[in-house]
Chain A
């Protein structure tokens, strides 16, 4: 329905019939200057005749007048016949209107001089006739006698023949239409697009047919017709002038008709008639294109009018003379001419004003002529340099608006003022008067007027900075260069900063937008009303009451209902959208730029070393990182986080929102969001890049309130910036309770070709690997290539904390699987060992709840597998190999270490109960134990000794480990003691459960504790050396030599080493379930336990005693010590409480009543000679001394007490004796000696408190079983 009108500057529609159309199109052209997208404006075809609001007095003012308009011949262009489709009518009218100027020279062929022409000075070579086509015709003006240019002097009918087949009717219709213009001197009816039948018919004179042909020949045809028309008009003018000169005419204006026709008036009128006739003849001369002739007649008319006091006609003649002057000098800009025009026009204005004052009493006021004159002069002068004068003229004219009775006149006046201010560059003034125009339109109650009002208001939006983005976008491009030049002049303010913020004159802006909304609703233009409401709501929501906001929302919804679905609007409404962050997709984060010069290409990519800034990094690299760069990969989804805010008081439903990408290589996925009042929400928008290349994301496309709009991030950023500076009303995000404004730079995004994508999967679930402390377990990791490109190279490294918990990675497995094809996968094993929880962890884990243990796992203490991989190098054939980026896959080994078996304490126990072990005791007397190894034990295999702890042992030191199982599972514990990697001694003494010697397991149920005993006698050193006590002794010597100090240090180190050696030999391994196994960390605990009595454990006694049978004088190996190196016989001094040691047994039973020869062997374990007093005692089972002199139960031979011996260092001394047992039974022999002149070393070993204390050494008891004689 609505079509653009072209050439609207040529066609001027009848002012009286259709004020809005004409003015609108002209106004638009003049106000907006360059920005006239006429195609975008809808225009009305032809308003009906009843358009004029108030009947009453016909309006005098006409739009678009200029000084030269007195020389234009008015031609009415009327559609006749059947209905013409508007586009055809426009086309035909444009065809006609193209010929507004007809050169006189071209008329020669059509012109025939019937009489002598009254236009003596007609410039046939240079002159022209000006035609002013009025589409739709106009109501005859009452003032047409006064100014002949107001007369309709010709009528052209336009007929579209396909819609009006009956030619006779067309002709009649045209005659009817032309009859309303009695002043017309020429009539033509043009008929277009005749049918064949019509063409074939009789050729008619009254209808000129334009045969169907191409545009060019049609135009040629039209030129001919118009020239013919012009020539006939010219001839008619000649006739008219000749007649008027000869007969004279009676010329009246509404002014005259009002006066009573008294005799005086009649005489006056007769006098004036001649002058008026001269003026009119001058008008016709001007119309005929002969300004010189016209000027002559005007001069006469001016003289006559002045003489007769005909002020009004005086002014008219003067105006005509100026017109003649200007037309004559057309195209010349002459300051003298300008001054002349200015001078004369001020006179004219004065004269009209006088006439107005004269005729003040009358109903019809010629004030419009005064205003028209002012406007004409203003238009003539309208230049930047004369801005002041023009604006004074226009302001004067605006003041005259009050005097205008007719609303249409006022409308035209304001339109003209607005146009002229617009031409002058006074945008705000023009906008002001345009708004006045719009208000006048809005006073009329019809849709056309409302539409006009809306369009006029739309034109003002630029000045008020509320323009639709649709127009501002176009303006922006065209106004870039002018702005640069105008800023040089200094007149135009650099509004670039201010124009970013729309808070200027917010009251006015709201009023304008509201008026646009109102008028567009009335004009039934839903898109405009949607746009206006959207702008109003978006820009001024803080100034609108909640009720008003809801009203706007409903008007948005109403407008959207009338729009087809999927309508787009340039102006965004709610919500406000800003870029929040750029959450990198896990697969995006791992893109690593490849360093082509290194084999380990990933190393150059990131900053190496502990410093964030390294001066050695390349300058190019650092500048590149200043602007964040992001690579997206074709086919892999990406995400952008945006924040939406609804600062209004209604629920906002965003039907869909997705990223707007102009580069076209991105598929965005829409989401829908619902925003409650005054809230903001973070929304993750995603999409998939589809092609390689840069991507720019200026904003989001939002489908809200039924219309699709684009929201730009940049605009909101500007808004927020303005809000930060206090230039904008409010920050929509802060009033929604969102965080403070943080500018997020959109990184430059480029899409790169597809890369391989490895996905790691821990076999057995991606959850944490639950490990008990110290547990060792193998984990299988599966790598799958989920991308579309094979993985050609890869590298796996460790990073993160607790790296040592990864014992091994099966590198060969995955290496052999390369390249991994798309969809291919490889599984490799990683062996893990759980670390030990620190005490802090233990405390945190005290509750033993699963949640807390999980928390420990999350604390970033896990090691990572850093897998760098890359696809094949692209374009190898091009010579320069461009390396596509590689990727990094980080596989966190989520190890959750839970507390396993716990070492409650470790302590040293000594067996103080003197036990008397015999074979009988060692046989399965204890019943419940299956001591199958009893025989082995008897066979002097002292290494495996099984004991009943209730019965104690003699002088045995045991390390007791108390273990507690706080977990939910059952643990089996193995304790292993490695003795110098020769043999593995396992001594497990636990609660009644002693299994095989090679594999002793202790099962500890949940919430039970168990004790594990480890005998320690195997760790004695062979020599008791002074060096162990050198620290104590050297404290007595202040002058300790340097060598002594070194020796001391060496000895210390040796001691420590031996301690560590001891500790490291003890290992506690555990198993739990099917595949949990590990080792208990007990080093610290053992060390702490041993610290107090380390000397006793490690150091040998100074003297060791052993007994041997000496049969036939030869000492047989009957004693317990298997080899001399094994210091199994202990002695200790008497004054220190507990004596430890092994119980010795004699293998071969000794018969009673027989002389038994024995020797006692005394070994000196020190490096010094020891002198001593040895004594040997024998006790029976009751503990009575058998060697008692009074009641001896055993006879003896040889010395048994006070034997003085001297033992050389590290040597043995043998003292023989013989005993004779009377009674069979068990006896125990014991040797003891008092050391004479004990050295400091011995004293220290014995921990003697006083220097004169006797040092007593005592050996272990030696059991003898005496059997009866057979």
Chain B
């Protein structure tokens, strides 16, 4: 189990619609926004990279110090971004794929306005369970 990981779903409009600290490391307030800064900065790279490949899973696209950003881009250009220290790529890929299925379920909800914040606690629980499983 890795120590730090931060998972963020960024909408098409570059707005974070879901955030979760899924690491097992003790949480520090300033670190959590530090993670977000790294993820935010990585969007620039993702923006270019997403158009160069057909794959949804872009692998690790950015890094800062020993933190790596892995990104998964859905067809609707929603980006799943995971900040982690080095760990198995397979696990991350599986994690992203499972989260994608959860996200599609959220998306199918007629009451969910695409691009707005995901507030479902069920989704949150599931994502955290997946993180425990794969990361």
Which residue from B14, B19, B41 sits with its C-beta under 8 Å from A429? B41
Q: Complex Cα distance A80/B69, Å?
A: 53
Residue A1039 interfacial (CB < 8 Å) = no
Q: Complex Cα distance A493/B50, Å?
A: 13
Which residues from A are CB-within-8-Å of B16? 504-505
Residue A428 interfacial (CB < 8 Å) = yes
Residue A391 interfacial (CB < 8 Å) = yes
* Contact indicator B41/A432 (Cβ below 8 Å): yes
Which residues from B are CB-within-8-Å of A398? 64
* Contact indicator A505/B40 (Cβ below 8 Å): yes
Question: Quick check: which of A272-280, A360-368, A495-503, A1168-1176 contacts chain B, the rest being far away?
Answer: A495-503
Which residues from A are CB-within-8-Å of B48? 387-388, 491
Within 8 A of A (CB), among B12-65: 12-16, 19, 32-33, 36-38, 40-45, 47-49, 51, 62-65
Residue B113 interfacial (CB < 8 Å) = yes
In the complex formed, the residue of A with least CB distance to B64 is A398
* Contact indicator B44/A493 (Cβ below 8 Å): no
Q: Complex Cα distance A399/B41, Å?
A: 15
B interface residues (Cβ-Cβ under 8 A, vs A): 12-16, 19, 32-33, 36-38, 40-45, 47-49, 51, 62-65, 113, 115-117
Which residues from A are CB-within-8-Å of B12? 493
Closest Cβ of chain A to B68, distance in Å, is 11
Which residues from B are CB-within-8-Å of A431? 41
Which residues from B are CB-within-8-Å of A435? 37
Which residues from B are CB-within-8-Å of A726? 113, 116-117
Which residue from B13, B33, B43, B51 sits with its C-beta under 8 Å from A511? B33
Residue A426 interfacial (CB < 8 Å) = yes
Q: Report the tally of A-B residue pairs with Cβ distances under 8 A.
A: 74
* Contact indicator B13/A498 (Cβ below 8 Å): yes
Q: Mind listing 22 A-B residue pairs with CB under 8 Å?
A: A388-B49, A391-B45, A426-B44, A428-B41, A429-B41, A429-B45, A431-B41, A432-B40, A432-B41, A435-B37, A464-B40, A491-B51, A493-B12, A493-B13, A503-B15, A505-B36, A507-B19, A507-B32, A511-B33, A511-B37, A726-B116, A727-B115
Which residues from B are CB-within-8-Å of A428? 40-44
Which residues from A are CB-within-8-Å of B42? 428
Which residues from A are CB-within-8-Å of B41? 428-429, 431-433
Q: Complex Cα distance A1080/B42, Å?
A: 92
Within 8 A of B (CB), among A410-438: 421, 425-429, 431-433, 435
* Contact indicator A429/B65 (Cβ below 8 Å): no
Closest Cβ of chain A to B10, distance in Å, is 9
Binary per-residue interface labels of chain A (425-469) against chain B in the complex, 1 for a CB within 8 Å, 0 otherwise = 111110111010000000000000000000000000000100000
Contact of A399 with B37 at beta-carbon distance under 8 Å, contacts A504-B16, A505-B16, A727-B116 already known: no
Residue A1269 interfacial (CB < 8 Å) = no
Which residues from B are CB-within-8-Å of A493? 12-14, 47
* Contact indicator B45/A725 (Cβ below 8 Å): no
Residue A508 interfacial (CB < 8 Å) = yes
In the complex formed, the residue of A with least CB distance to B32 is A507
Closest Cβ of chain B to A111, distance in Å, is 50
Give how many A residues have a beta carbon under 8 Å from the other chain's beta carbons: 34
Q: Complex Cα distance A503/B14, Å?
A: 11
Q: Complex Cα distance A426/B12, Å?
A: 17
Q: Complex Cα distance A1214/B47, Å?
A: 131
Residue A337 interfacial (CB < 8 Å) = no
Residue A266 interfacial (CB < 8 Å) = no
* Contact indicator A432/B38 (Cβ below 8 Å): yes
* Contact indicator B13/A497 (Cβ below 8 Å): yes
* Contact indicator A504/B15 (Cβ below 8 Å): yes
In the complex formed, the residue of B with least CB distance to A511 is B33
Residue A402 interfacial (CB < 8 Å) = yes
Closest Cβ of chain B to A414, distance in Å, is 11
Q: Complex Cα distance A421/B33, Å?
A: 21
A interface residues (Cβ-Cβ under 8 A, vs B): 387-388, 391, 395, 398-399, 402, 421, 425-429, 431-433, 435, 464, 490-491, 493, 495, 497-498, 501, 503-505, 507-508, 511, 725-727
Q: Complex Cα distance A493/B12, Å?
A: 8
In the complex formed, the residue of A with least CB distance to B35 is A507
Q: Complex Cα distance A435/B64, Å?
A: 13
Closest Cβ of chain A to B46, distance in Å, is 10
In the complex formed, the residue of A with least CB distance to B38 is A432
Closest Cβ of chain A to B7, distance in Å, is 14
Closest Cβ of chain A to B66, distance in Å, is 9
Which residues from A are CB-within-8-Å of B44? 421, 425-429
Contact of A725 with B116 at beta-carbon distance under 8 Å, contacts A426-B45, A429-B45, A498-B14 already known: yes
Q: Complex Cα distance A399/B48, Å?
A: 21
Q: Complex Cα distance A425/B49, Å?
A: 14
Given contacts A425-B44, A433-B41, 18 further A-B contacts (CB under 8 A): A398-B64, A421-B44, A426-B44, A426-B45, A428-B42, A428-B43, A432-B41, A464-B40, A490-B51, A495-B13, A501-B15, A503-B15, A504-B15, A505-B36, A725-B116, A726-B113, A726-B117, A727-B116
Q: Complex Cα distance A504/B17, Å?
A: 9
Closest Cβ of chain B to A365, distance in Å, is 18
Closest Cβ of chain B to A975, distance in Å, is 78
* Contact indicator B15/A505 (Cβ below 8 Å): yes
In the complex formed, the residue of B with least CB distance to A727 is B116
* Contact indicator A402/B65 (Cβ below 8 Å): yes
In the complex formed, the residue of A with least CB distance to B116 is A726
Q: Complex Cα distance A336/B47, Å?
A: 29
Which residues from B are CB-within-8-Å of A508? 33, 36-37, 40
Closest Cβ of chain A to B31, distance in Å, is 12
* Residue of B12, B32, B37 ringed by the most chain A CB atoms within 10 A: B37
Which residues from A are CB-within-8-Å of B115? 727
Closest Cβ of chain A to B6, distance in Å, is 11
Which residues from B are CB-within-8-Å of A490? 51
Closest Cβ of chain A to B52, distance in Å, is 8
Q: Complex Cα distance A504/B36, Å?
A: 12
Closest Cβ of chain A to B27, distance in Å, is 13
Q: Complex Cα distance A435/B63, Å?
A: 16
Which residue from B14, B65, B117 sits with its C-beta under 8 Å from A399? B65
Q: Complex Cα distance A190/B62, Å?
A: 51
Which residues from A are CB-within-8-Å of B32? 507
In the complex formed, the residue of A with least CB distance to B63 is A395
